[in-house]
Amino acid sequence: MPTKKRIALAGSEHHPMAGAKRIKAAPSGELMTVTVVLRRRSDVKPSKTAGKPGERFASRVEYAAIHGADAGDMAAIEKFAHTHGLTVMELHAESRRIVLSGPAWAMQEAFGVKLSHYAVRGGPQYRSHSGSIQLPAEIHAAVMAVLGLDNRPIAKPHFRVHKKKKAAAPASFTAVQLAGLYNFPTGVTGAGQTIAILELGGGYSAADLNTYFSGLKLQTPAVTAVSVDKGQNTPGSAADGEVMLDIEVAGAVAPGAKIAVYFAPNTSQGFSDGIAQAVHDTARNPSVLSISWGGPEESWSQQAISAMTGALEDAASLGVTVTVAAGDDGSSDGVTGGKAHVDFPASSPYSLACGGTKAQVVAGKLTEQVWNETASKEGATGGGVSNIFAIPAYQTAAKVPTQVNTGFAGRGVPDVAGDADPTTGYNTIVDGKPQVIGGTSAVAPLWAGLVALLNQQLGASLGYFNARLYAISPPVLNDITTGNNGAYSAGPGWDPCTGLGTPEGVALESALQTTSTAAAAAKK
């Protein structure tokens, strides 16, 4: 018989979505899956050990052996599942995940919750629970998160289609042109690298990719669709713009790299599982992960943030650079009420958060300012200060202000930037039609492509290189000092609109090469 003593799982509470109303109890036979995320066998502190010049990152096999799930913990969860009539669908010791399946009645009994369906007028229907998940005492300490009981759509893509929707706007660019303007290294193509891209909807077609890349006189890169939690490459929705933008930008910048697109459901379970699956993928071994989806920090449960942060910590220790869009709704991040918010997972200290600029060529010279087109309802770069994550060590000298509303000394967002204004956006092909698209969604794959080039040039993965980036002196990025995103303004050095600035590829490569060479010499 299962134990009667239960303990609340901290951070598992969910608040209803704005405007949501409970419509009915979940039918007892409704089938669902959940992901149970476990603690590490041995803790890791990538913020102190990863990203140093000349460092050898652990292999995925080595890392799993040391920091994967404890066999005893996994066995205890399996026993718990069988006791409550749940089926063990997947076991992932390396990423500390167990996927369980079963009907609603069994899930309610196992996790001590009452499941209900909710509806948002003019919006989605979803399943959730009130109060905390209650776990038996014998497994409570082993569990970080239980994801999937709540299946609300949690994130949105951070792209903006130029309103005029012309085949090409006078000020728009191809990704190849922007790579040239940002002086990306030449003579390298990203060969030997795999760029992972996480998508929570939409899809791509091979015909569109062939049309796009042939128009750039480039060979279409090898693109593979990977299913996460039964997510699929399903073109035919508005999210296709996100998927195609990500692939086309990353592929144009690093045409020699392979691209793996991980399709997951748009839920906290899908998002977390998508990161974990990409980071721990031993078949494709991605060295870069690009994420162009997210939501305001306050919209996530604490357990979802903990699970995703754990997966991003894994990426840092494994030498996987994670580039994340900072959002397209200015300093509010789309939240009403007039206060400042930042987007997660961009706000994670283990992300390379990517903000946006308006880029123009004047008299043959690239000029940039903060992207802010809120007056014309075409968005603005996200950025600001986290209310959840404390300021990381690599930002202590960056003069990050306290959070404008709470005074919290938090992680500053973004770290870097790139062209994102839809009026100066990227020429793409989506569902057979040319479109000009902007948004910080374009900046994440732009930087992911650059990292792939740098990895090839340097002969090693940059991985979690935030500390190295902030330590480069004198700075080698294009400092953006004009404009604002609402609550925050740009200025010399790091700022909460464009971070350290936009790419200056060759200068960045040279600075990273110098630090790597110096570190290697110091080890001799």
Identify whether 441 is a catalytic site residue.
yes
Residue of 240, 246, 368, 373 with catalytic role? 246
Q: In angstroms, rounded to a whole number, what is the distance separating the alpha carbons of residues 425 and 229? A: 33
Position 48 confidence tier, pLDDT thresholds 50, 70, 90: very low
Is residue 147 predicted with pLDDT exceeding 60?
A: yes
Q: For 241-257, how does the pLDDT look when each residue is reduced to its tens digit (9 = 90+)?
A: 999 999 999 999 999 99
What is the structure's pLDDT at 165?
A: 47
Is residue 449 predicted with pLDDT exceeding 50?
A: yes
Q: What is the mean pLDDT of residues 200-228?
A: 98
Residue 361 CB partners (closer than 8 Å, separation 6+):
181, 367
Last residue of a domain, one of 147, 177, 198: 147
Of 54-63, 66-75, 297-306, 506-515, minimum mean pLDDT range: 54-63
Residues 45 and 117 in one domain: yes
Quote the percentage of the chain above a pLDDT of 90.
90
Q: What is the mean pLDDT of residues 105-128?
A: 96
Q: For the purposes of burial, counting CB atoms within 10 Å of the CB of 307, is it exposed (0-12), middle (13-18) or buried (19 or more)?
A: buried
Is residue 459 predicted with pLDDT exceeding 70?
A: yes
Is residue 515 predicted with pLDDT exceeding 90?
A: no
Residues 226 and 316 in one domain: yes
Position 167 confidence tier, pLDDT thresholds 50, 70, 90: very low
Residues 299 and 414 in one domain: yes
Last residue of a domain, one of 147, 182, 198: 147
3-class state of residue 223 by DSSP: strand
Residue of 172, 268, 351, 441 with catalytic role? 441
What is the structure's pLDDT at 277?
A: 98
What is the structure's pLDDT at 519?
A: 52
Residue 438 CB partners (closer than 8 Å, separation 6+):
159, 160, 162, 356, 371, 378, 379, 419, 420, 421, 422, 423, 424, 425, 426
The answer to whether residue 198 sits within a structural domain is yes
DSSP run (H or E) holding 468 = helix 466-471
Question: Across all residues in the chain, what is the average pLDDT?
Answer: 94
The answer to whether residue 371 sits within a structural domain is yes
Is residue 3 predicted with pLDDT exceeding 60?
A: no
Position 45 confidence tier, pLDDT thresholds 50, 70, 90: low
Q: In angstroms, rounded to a whole number, what is the distance separating the alpha carbons of residues 51 and 30? A: 45
Of 48-57, 167-176, 511-520, minimum mean pLDDT range: 48-57
Half-sphere exposure of 16 (CA within 13 A, CB side): 15
Residues 136 and 211 in one domain: no
Identify whether 246 is a catalytic site residue.
yes
Residue 283 CB partners (closer than 8 Å, separation 6+):
none
Of 30-44, 177-191, 287-301, minimum mean pLDDT range: 30-44
The answer to whether residue 1 sits within a structural domain is no
The answer to whether residue 115 sits within a structural domain is yes
3-class state of residue 382 by DSSP: coil
Q: For 391-429, how does the pLDDT look when each residue is reduced to its tens digit (9 = 90+)?
A: 999 999 999 999 999 999 999 999 999 999 999 999 999
Is residue 50 predicted with pLDDT exceeding 50?
A: no
Residues 131 and 205 in one domain: no
Q: What is the mean pLDDT of residues 346-366?
A: 96
Maximum pairwise Cα distance, the chain? 78
For the chain, what is the domain count? 2
Q: In angstroms, rounded to a whole number, what is the distance separating the alpha carbons of residues 80 and 74? A: 10
User: How many Cβ atoms from other residues are within 10 Å of residue 404's Cβ?
Assistant: 16
The answer, as to whether pTM is greater than 0.85, is: yes
Last residue of a domain, one of 120, 147, 174: 147
Is residue 35 predicted with pLDDT exceeding 50?
A: yes
What is the structure's pLDDT at 166?
A: 46
The answer to whether residue 523 sits within a structural domain is no
Which domain covers residue 456, as residue numbers?
A: 156-516
Residues 140 and 170 in one domain: no
Buried b (16+ CB within 10 A) or exposed e, 142-157: bbbbbbbbbbbbbbbb
The answer to whether residue 522 sits within a structural domain is no
Task: Check: CB of residue 15 under 8 Å from CB of residue 154.
Answer: no
Task: Check: CB of residue 232 under 8 Å from CB of residue 264.
Answer: no
CA-based nearest residue to 452, from 272, 221, 157, 292: 221
DSSP 416-435: EEEE--GGG-EEEEETTEEE
Is residue 148 predicted with pLDDT exceeding 60?
A: yes
What is the structure's pLDDT at 135?
A: 98
Residues 278 and 344 in one domain: yes
The answer to whether residue 106 sits within a structural domain is yes
Residues 135 and 240 in one domain: no
Residues 358 and 490 in one domain: yes
Position 171 confidence tier, pLDDT thresholds 50, 70, 90: confident
- Residue 448 amino acid letter: A
Is residue 477 predicted with pLDDT exceeding 50?
A: yes
Residues 357 and 424 in one domain: yes
Residue 375 CB partners (closer than 8 Å, separation 6+):
none
Q: In angstroms, rounded to a whole number, what is the distance separating the alpha carbons of residues 167 and 174? A: 12
Residues 139 and 163 in one domain: no
Of 119-123, 150-154, 500-504, minimum mean pLDDT range: 119-123
Quote the percentage of the chain above a pLDDT of 70.
94
Q: For the purposes of burial, counting CB atoms within 10 Å of the CB of 49, is it exposed (0-12), middle (13-18) or buried (19 or more)?
A: middle
Q: In angstroms, rounded to a whole number, what is the distance separating the alpha carbons of residues 343 and 337? A: 16
What is the structure's pLDDT at 359?
A: 97
Position 164 confidence tier, pLDDT thresholds 50, 70, 90: low
State the CATH number of the domain containing residue 485: 3.40.50.200
Position 458 confidence tier, pLDDT thresholds 50, 70, 90: very high
Residues 96 and 181 in one domain: no
Is residue 373 predicted with pLDDT exceeding 50?
A: yes
What is the structure's pLDDT at 4?
A: 73
The answer to whether residue 66 sits within a structural domain is yes
